Amino acid sequence: MGKRRRPWQDADDVLGFFGGRLSEARRNLNAHVRNWSAKGRCHELTGGGLIRSAGGWRAVKEAYRAGIRLASDECILGSSEFVEATLKHAGEVCKRRMRMQSAGIDLPAVIAAACRYLGIEEKELARPTRHVEIARARALISYVAT
């Protein structure tokens, strides 16, 4: 409601969806929460999102072993199909990340590949140094990862 300061929470932005003035926004948000809570427990808003939609952890692990990669995004609750449709509708901002994820490429894989390509040890990346090779590796990893 914007009454307590929490550095991890953007209260002004959220309240902005509910009204132009602070008092109006608080009143509207409060009414909105009351309406939703009156509905009781909503199946679509509870549980494990993708995990629940896929049939539980066992189903997710079996799909992974079979080479099936489910689309997921920690910001979107829903099935793999719903996540894919939502991301497509939003302009597919995460398209590249999803392709890399589905191919099994993650940050440790990018780091390992860059170090192999440039012929340096991974542990050298963490050392405080200005060597050109290390700077080049860091830049390559940052570019590919973002």
Distance between CA atoms of residues 35 and 33, nearest Å:
5
Instruction: Please state the domain extents for the chain.
Output: 11-40, 46-96, 107-145
The 10s digit of each residue's pLDDT in 25-60 is 889 988 988 888 887 776 555 545 555 556 666 776
Per-residue pLDDT of 88-123, as tens digits, reads: 766 655 566 667 777 777 888 889 999 999 999 999
| Block residue for tokens 């170090």 | 115
Residues 101/94, Cβ–Cβ less than 8 Å = no
Q: Give the pLDDT score at 61.
A: 74
What integer pLDDT is reported at residue 75 of this predicted model?
Answer: 58
Q: What is the reported pLDDT for 66? A: 77
Please tell me the pTM assigned to this model: 0.35
